[in-house]
A and B are shown apart, each in its own frame.
Chain A
Amino acid sequence: MSVAIAQKLLLIGWDAADWQMIHPLVDAGRMPNLARLLETGVMGNLLTLQPILSPILWTSIATGKRGYQHGVTGFVEPTPDGTALRPTASSTRRCKALWNILSEAGKRCHAVGWYASHPAELINGCYISQQFPVAPASATPLHWPPQPNSVQPVALAEALTELRLHPGEVTGPMLSQFIPLAAHLDQRDPEVRRLFNSFAKRLAECISLHAVTTAVMEEMPWDFCTAYYEAIDHVGHDFMAFHPPRMPNVRPDLFEVFAGVMNATYELHDQMLGRLVELAGSDAHIMLVSDHGFLNGERRPTTEVDPAQWHRNFGIFLLAGPGIKSDDVVHGATLLDIAPTILTLFGLPVGQDMEGKVLVNVFAQMPKIERIASWEETLKVAEDKEPADHIEDDPEAAAAALQQLVELGYLEAPGEDIQRDIAKARSEQKFNLACTYLDGKQPARALALGEELVRQSPGELRYLVLAGQAAISAGDVTALGRALSNLEASYPQNRHVLLFRAFHHWLSEDIAGAARYFEEALVGSPQDPWLLCRIGRAYLRLRRWRDAEEAFLKAIEIDPDNAETYYGLSVALPRQGRLEEGVECGLKAVSLFHDFPLAHFQLGAVLSRLGWYERSLQAFEICLAMRPDFALAHRYVSRISNHIGQTEAAKEHRKRADSIIEQGLPQLAVD
């Protein structure tokens, strides 16, 4: 075991917290506790995973694994007997979380209120499930029995129950601290009533969890503690629409009253943060993360959309404590990096089955990183690179197995309504699973699931789009053709028809044809940065450097945190003789999204043209660490190594490049 840098670490989760909301408040002195942590620690963006759904993401944070590995694929799931739906259970997770691993390593752990954490697990400490502070409809302030199986050790349940706040106990004066103009609104208005009730519920749950968290931190010794708060997300889904500036679709009377709710919610979190930090002590490490950001400006949806469409790709990361750099920024962090980094902080090995990296740049001194095959007892070491085929993830198979138990007389058959709801939940799980495969660069599996979903529900637009996206990622022209036909048959006017046509041309090497369709699609969505990037990439292939630059610059205006736009500029600008600008853009691209081998490659290429060979080699090294079979990168390294007199390295890389070409291994397409 390596030397532990952390003796005590508090992992705080603020669901949906976003630097774009936080920075103005910090600058205005309204989040002083967070400001102090920023001065003494390292901050950065934290790139989320797809699909942006909290149960999946928080489980990924806690396990270091993607949804198709950890098994949590949605908000709800059928109960084991298939007769009802329930929130996704902790028992559905099929790998260890940080509190399991650290408990095994002898650390005293408290896990409080994490997502998908019910029923409570037995760990070396205290475990309070997400259901603990939730008051069912039948509960009243005077009669609110604790949810069974929500606390371990059980002996703590009674005492902790006393700390909960029922929504009915949230008084007018309490609400007025967040909504000072509440009296201006007519409470008989159903929408007004709904908003007030919703806020009271979220506030009560938040305060309950905070009270319980601080109680266990104070009363029971710990080495690792989680403190999870979901209020920013829940409140955001109700009230971010009212955050300034007022959007055209928002009622002026509601805007007047609710405009300050989001900032007030963040301020509350800062106050709670202060108490957490105080309890943790000055020798503790404090890590603050969120699973995703939240749209808060001009890009907020103005019509009714799926709640996940309010989520932004970048959440927050902050780490402070002994041995950590101070007042610094880390780039390229993702959700999958949290578990490896925490394990390293505790001097514990990182599982090779954890895809993320240790965020070495946060440490004042480079840490020693140890690896083991896995923290799971039964996992086969990944010589087999395919993820395990979990038949239980197949909703139809699972349903068929349950039906057999019903036929055998051991389970009750669910009623028809429930069967429909369960079928819908299972499809949702399958859809989300496909999305996790797509995000995890397993497009073939995503495609198989996508096409199954289309067969089951031929008219469902999401499934049609997913199948097409998976086909594109897989480079499967035939499957894309199928997806395009299916989509055209049901939704001929949908914008994805144009996009799929564009990609069909692209995959068939007709880039000019692809560009025409992308341009046509842009007419309907002129503010779509992704589409502008597609056009930019097409122009790069067509060697229309100036046009490409324009497209990427337009995209940056709309979405300044888009790594692809900076990558595109890092190609277009050097082609116009603007090498240093190209390097700047390349650096920005990889700082926004580290796991971007083409961006590192391009950076390396431009740096070599500038004669900055050492830095160029570093960039190529990172690219090759991500894509060891990238022949062109090896050729560059060979050429540069030769140039600077490293002839052995030059030979090795030349040989490697030749071998890759000979084997016909798939290559990245360079713009």
Chain B
Amino acid sequence: MDATFVTVVSGLPRSGTSLMMQMLQAGGVPPLTDELRTPDESNPRGYFEYEAVKQVRTDSSWLATARGRAVKIIHILLSELPNDGSINFRVILMERAIGEVLASQRQMLARQGKSAAALSDDQLGRIYLGQLEKAEKFLTGSPAFQVLKVAHRELLGDPAPVAERINQFLGGDLDLAAMVAVVDPALYREREI
């Protein structure tokens, strides 16, 4: 794996970021994770998270150790990444129908016994999409970031070509078969018809 850049997997929570992390791991990109968050019903194969990401605004020293690895960063924290070119990033931005994202978040919160925001789907959806728009604007505003968008539905429906695109995006050294093998359509819940 090329160790000159950091691979970032991002998107709205429940847009397929954990799945992508699994694919990358299977394909040969070591994840940066502390495994603090263990697998559960919402993510039976694990979250692949790194707690230090949440403090990236005040402490980004861990980024230096992320070169050559994949790290999951929620969309809203992307703008805290340095865009001055000191580190280069290749960002895989997961996209999923907003209705599916919201439904999946609700399910996850319900499983955890927590409450969802007191907002309508329309309101929450628009806020999330606005956040995503800002994040994308930030990413396209600097040559430090290369971005590949991956549609969740397409990934679940036909993972092979998607895996190939990811492989090309990340330099071409990945184990495609292993990546494709990770995708299990049975995990595609809250699917919109």
Interfacial residues, chain A to chain B (CB-CB below 8 A): 79-81, 83-84, 89, 91-92, 119-122, 148-149, 151-152, 154-155, 157, 390-392, 397-398, 400-405, 407-412
Q: How far is the CA of A79 from the CA of B109 in the complex (A)?
A: 24
Q: Enumerate chain A residues within 8 angstroms of B84, measured Cβ to Cβ.
A: 148-149, 151, 154, 157
Q: How far is the CA of A249 from the CA of B41 in the complex (A)?
A: 69
Contact with A along B139-170 (1 / 0, CB 8 A): 00111100000000000000000000000000
Q: Enumerate chain B residues within 8 angstroms of A83, measured Cβ to Cβ.
A: 57
Given A91-B138, A391-B127, the answer on whether A412 and B54 have CB atoms closer than 8 Å is yes
Q: B114 near A407 (CB under 8 angstroms)?
A: yes
Q: Enumerate chain B residues within 8 angstroms of A122, measured Cβ to Cβ.
A: 141-143
Q: B77 near A119 (CB under 8 angstroms)?
A: no
Q: How far is the CA of A397 from the CA of B105 in the complex (A)?
A: 17
Please name 9 further chain A to chain B contacts, defined as beta carbons within 8 Å, in addition to the given A81-B76, A89-B79, A149-B83, sorted by A numbering: A119-B79, A152-B142, A390-B130, A391-B123, A397-B123, A400-B117, A401-B117, A404-B109, A407-B116
Q: Enumerate chain B residues within 8 angstroms of A151, measured Cβ to Cβ.
A: 84
Could you jot down 22 A-B contacts, CB within 8 Å?
A: A81-B76, A89-B79, A91-B79, A92-B134, A119-B79, A119-B83, A149-B82, A151-B84, A390-B130, A391-B123, A391-B127, A392-B127, A392-B131, A397-B119, A397-B127, A401-B124, A401-B127, A404-B105, A404-B109, A404-B124, A405-B76, A408-B14
Q: A408 near B117 (CB under 8 angstroms)?
A: no
For A148, A149, A410, the residue with the greatest tally of chain B CB atoms inside 10 Å of its CB is A410
- Closest residue of chain B to A149, judged by CB? B83
5 tightest Cβ-Cβ pairs between the two chains A and B: A400-B117, A404-B117, A154-B85, A154-B84, A401-B127
- Closest residue of chain A to B108, judged by CB? A408
Q: How many residues of B contact A (CB 8 A)?
A: 41
Q: Enumerate chain B residues within 8 angstroms of A84, measured Cβ to Cβ.
A: 57-58
Q: Enumerate chain B residues within 8 angstroms of A391, measured Cβ to Cβ.
A: 123, 126-127, 130
B175 within 8 A of A: no
Given A83-B57, A391-B126, A397-B127, the answer on whether A407 and B109 have CB atoms closer than 8 Å is yes
Given A148-B82, A148-B84, A408-B109, the answer on whether A80 and B77 have CB atoms closer than 8 Å is yes
Q: Which of A401, A403, A408, A411 contacts B54 (CB 8 A)?
A: A411
- Closest residue of chain A to B141, judged by CB? A122
Q: How far is the CA of A401 from the CA of B141 in the complex (A)?
A: 25
Q: A405 near B13 (CB under 8 angstroms)?
A: yes
For A91, A405, A411, the residue with the greatest tally of chain B CB atoms inside 10 Å of its CB is A405
B65 within 8 A of A: no
Q: Enumerate chain B residues within 8 angstroms of A79, measured Cβ to Cβ.
A: 57, 80
B74 within 8 A of A: yes
Q: How far is the CA of A120 from the CA of B79 in the complex (A)?
A: 12
Q: How far is the CA of A384 from the CA of B187 in the complex (A)?
A: 43
Q: Enumerate chain A residues within 8 angstroms of B141, measured Cβ to Cβ.
A: 121-122
Q: How far is the CA of A392 from the CA of B123 in the complex (A)?
A: 9
Q: Which of A120, A152, A392, A410 contacts B13 (CB 8 A)?
A: A410
B186 within 8 A of A: no
- Closest residue of chain B to A401, judged by CB? B127
Given A398-B127, A410-B13, A412-B54, the answer on whether A80 and B117 have CB atoms closer than 8 Å is no
Q: How far is the CA of A400 from the CA of B37 in the complex (A)?
A: 23
- Closest residue of chain B to A403, judged by CB? B117
Q: B105 near A80 (CB under 8 angstroms)?
A: no
Q: Enumerate chain A residues within 8 angstroms of B86, measured Cβ to Cβ.
A: 148, 154
- Closest residue of chain A to B102, judged by CB? A404
Q: Enumerate chain A residues within 8 angstroms of B55, measured Cβ to Cβ.
A: 412
Q: Looking at the assembled complex, report how far the CB atom of B185 sits from the nearest CB atom of chain A, in whole angstroms.
A: 24
